[in-house]
Structure 1
Amino acid sequence: MNFKITGTGSYIPNVVTRNADFEQHEFFNLDGSSFPQDNPTTIRKFKAITGIEERRYIEPEMNTSDIATLASKKAIEDAGIDPETLDYIIVAHNYGDVKSNTVQSDTVPSLATRVKAKLKISNPKCVGYDILFGCPGWIEGMVQANAFIKAGIAKRCLVIGAEALSRVVDSHDRDSMIFSDGAGAAILEASEETGGILSHESATFSLQESEYIYFGKSNNSKSSEDIRFIKMNGRKIYEFALVNVPKAMKTCLENSGKSIEDLKTVFIHQANEKMDEAIINRFYKLHNMQAPEHVMPMTIHELGNSSVATVPTLLDLVRKGKIDHQKLEKGDVVMFASVGAGMNINAITYEV
């Protein structure tokens, strides 16, 4: 028994924040020292590296569990199922519900429990739980759902990736321009058809890498020492990802029984345009090939990096025909891949 993705949905917030909106920010280095260049120069260099022109933030009255629910409703409608028939609801996130203008993360009850309540599902055998796995969380949730279905303990699962990073960014940190909010969801159903997940690869590197992404104090030395924000060592992450992600993707593809020529599309975590391009090029170089044109759909230019939400949102947009030069048809072989805090890496080879 395998599963097929029968429905997807996403929620893209309405608040658009453009690069120019950061020109009045006061940026500092990690040690509290001032930047040597002015903000327009900083922003121009940022755009050249990341590809990000704008990003989306949720409205003040909304939380991560709210947008997770909105994406889920669309996925349920797309699949045409009764939500009461869901066996599992798995929500991948990293910071829980952080209400606007507060600094406290709220994860009790779990976001999956909150989503289930917001969907008004009464069936107690529909089990909801959260997964914390950094940016690769949604892909890891797919791996778990696949295991449940193969084991015969589930027939229908809802896997969600949702994040509101705007609530945990340091406005004095240049990296705050990378992060955004969003949610994506998928319905997975047991199927006798061929295809589904053909292989997967997951790994955690933590001996030297565990603090590449962490919670730390503001870059502004005048800010409170007691408030923490998302921080990252961008150079270390880039070097780590460029070496390890293509290897994991190669192993995953080899274990699927498919060849590199069979692979149509790679849905990769929208972390940084230059990093993603380098990963894809290195992956194809491992197969003595050049990456084909349009093999890697991108949304980072308009949507930024919404962590666990980037891959399921990208999948939904492609399935709905909302990205140029991208289309999925039955029998297509695709790959999902991600890297993030942990440092965690994973990949899935999937046949549509």
Structure 2
Amino acid sequence: MNIKITGSGSYIPTEKVTNLDFAKHSFLNEDGSLFPYSNEVVAEKFLEITGIQERRYVSDNLLTSDIALIAAQRAIEDAKVDPETLDYIIFAHNFGNVKHGAIQADAVPTLASRVKQKLRIKNPYCVAYDMLFGCPGWVEGVIQAQAYIKAGMAKKCLVIGAETLSRVVDIHDRDSMIYSDGAGATVIEATEEEGGIISHASATYATDEADYLYFGNSFNKDLDEDVRYIKMHGRKIYEFALNNVPNAMKLCLEKSGYKITDIKKVLIHQANEKMDEAIIHRFFKLYNQTPPEGVMPMSIHKLGNSSVATVPTLYDLIINGKIENQELNKGDVIIFASVGAGMNINAIVYKV
């Protein structure tokens, strides 16, 4: 028995937001003072570091659970499975449903239960729950789905990663330019078909690192101090990721029995182009190798950082031929990898 992704789907929001759209923002320092550079300079440096040219936001009428439903329906259709036969729905997100213009998150009932309801699944033994694991949530959800299947507790699982980060950003913080919205979903099931999940590795670093990503006040001191926004210590996250993600990927690869030369693609969390490139070079350097051209597909340039949605969305786009000069073929050995709030890291070696 092998455990494979048998169907995938994604939802790319329709609202395009370019770097130039931030020209009217009043960017501030953490102490509330005016940022010393013009917005044009900010946008130029931002593009140079992150590689992000534009990102996608959901339209005002949509919620995280709405876009997750669309991705889930597409994954179920792609897998050609009856939703009633799903044993688990694992929904990775971080902020629940945040309505446009609202300041409060809504996660009761769970977003997984809402998706199950809208899928019209009547089977009570299809267990639906939410996964809070930072940006690596979808990857961790796949790892949990595999565990349920290996333990004989499930045959089919739906794993979703969706987020609407545009609803929780501080518009006075330059880091708000990184974040975006999106949804990706996969059906994971036991199959006699060759390939699937070969190995995995997960870790949580919390002693000193837990608050590298956190909820904090706006840099605009005139705004309500009781309203919180997503915040990060960017330099600390960059150094943490560079020092730890390659080692987690190496551990995962060694567990798999495959060699670095067997890896065709690395589908890594789309956090920051410069950071991801540094991680991939550090990973291959552990084997005295340099990354082959095209080994790390990127979607961040047009889609930004949609947290848990980046990896499943990237996979779905490649599978459907929507990333230029990138493809996955049967038998290819790939690595899924992610890093994010917690601080959490994980990786999966997977054979297509």
**Structure 2 length-normalised TM:** 0.99
| Residue number in structure 2 paired with 1:211 | 211
Name the SS of the counterpart of 2:199 in structure 1.
Answer: strand
Equivalent position of 1:43 in the other structure: 43
Counterpart of 2:54 in structure 1: which amino acid? E
Q: Deviations over 1:218-260 (max 9, x none)?
A: 0011111010000000000000000000000011001100000
Matching residue of 2:127: 127
How far has the Cα of 1:102 moved from its partner? 0.5
Q: Which residue in 1 is equivalent to 2:326?
A: 326
> Equivalent residue for 1:164?
164
Please report how far the alpha carbon of residue 123 of structure 1 lies from its aligned counterpart in structure 2 after TM superposition. 1.1
Residues in 1 aligned to 2:337 and 2:227: alpha-carbon distance in whole angstroms: 32
Name the stretch that deviates more: 136-145 or 1-10: 1-10
Secondary structure at the counterpart of residue 335 of structure 1: strand
Return 5+ residue gaps in structure 2 as ranges.
none
Name the aligned partner's letter for residue 86 of structure 1. Answer: L
Bigger drift between 317-326 and 294-303 goes to: 317-326
Q: Distance in 2 between matches of 1:43 and 1:331?
A: 41
Deviations for 1:287-344, whole angstroms, at most 9, x for unmatched residues? Answer: 1000000000000000000000000000000000111221112211000000000000
The question of 1:252 aligning with 2:247 is answered no
> Map of 1:126-275 to 2, 5 A cutoff?
126-275=126-275
- Structure 1 stretch 233-242 or stretch 25-34: which is displaced more? 25-34
Q: Is contact 1:242–1:278 with CA below 8 Å preserved after alignment?
A: yes
How far apart in 1 are the matches of 2:190 and 2:262?
24
The one-letter code matched in structure 1 to 2:210 is S
CA contact (8 A) 1:337 1:348 kept: yes
State the AA in 1 paired with 2:36: P
Q: Give how far 1:26 is off.
A: 0.3
**Structure 2 CA distance for aligned equivalents of residues 192 and 144 of structure 1:** 20
1:195 Cα deviation from its structure 2 partner: 2.0
> What's the CA shift for 1:193?
3.0
Partners of 1:276 and 1:145 in 2: how far apart?
26
Q: Runs ≥4 in structure 1, deviation > 4 angstroms? A: none
Of residues 18-27 and 29-38 in structure 1, the stretch that sits farther from structure 2 once superposed is 29-38
Work out whether residues 270 and 311 of structure 1, in 8 Å CA contact, stay in contact via their aligned partners in 2. yes
Partner of 1:308: 308
Alpha-carbon separation, structure 2, partners of 1:14 and 1:326:
23
User: How many Å apart are 1:192 and its aligned residue?
Assistant: 2.4
Pair 1:349-2:349 in alignment: yes
Question: Which amino acid in the other structure matches residue 323 of structure 2?
Answer: I
CA distance in 2, matches of 1:37, 1:186: 43
SS at match of 1:114: helix
Distance in structure 2 (CA, Å) of the matches to 1:99 and 1:24: 23
What is the one-letter code of the residue matched to 1:156? K
Task: Read off the aligned partner of 1:104 and give its amino acid letter.
Answer: Q
CA distance in 1, matches of 2:189, 2:199: 17
Task: Identify unmatched segments of 5+ residues in structure 1.
Answer: none
Equivalent residue letter for 2:74 = K
Say which SS state the counterpart of residue 241 (structure 1) adopts: helix
User: 2:185 is paired with a residue of what secondary structure?
Assistant: strand
Aligned residue in 1 for 2:280: 280
For residues 304 and 325 of structure 1, the distance between their equivalents in structure 2, rounded to whole angstroms, comes to 19
Q: Distance in 2 between matches of 1:326 and 1:45?
A: 28
Task: Tell me by how many angstroms 1:346 deviates.
Answer: 0.2
SS in 2 for 1:43: helix
Aligned residue for 1:5? 5
- State how 1:333-344 maps to structure 2 within 5 Å: 333-344=333-344
Provide the residue aligned with 1:81 in structure 2. Answer: 81
CA offset at residue 33 of structure 1? Answer: 1.4
For the residue of structure 1 that corresponds to 2:94, the secondary structure is coil
Structure-to-structure mapping, 1:49-64, within 5 angstroms: 49-64=49-64
**SS of aligned partner of 2:16:** strand
1:2 and 1:146 in contact (8 A); partners too: no
Instruction: Count matched residues.
Output: 352
Aligned-residue RMSD, C-alpha:
0.7
Letter in 1 for 2:60: P
> Matched residues in 2 for 1:283 and 1:4: separation?
25
Secondary structure of 2:321's counterpart equals coil
| Identity among equivalent pairs (%) | 66
Preserved CA contact (<8 Å) 1:2 1:149: no
Q: Offset at 1:32?
A: 1.0
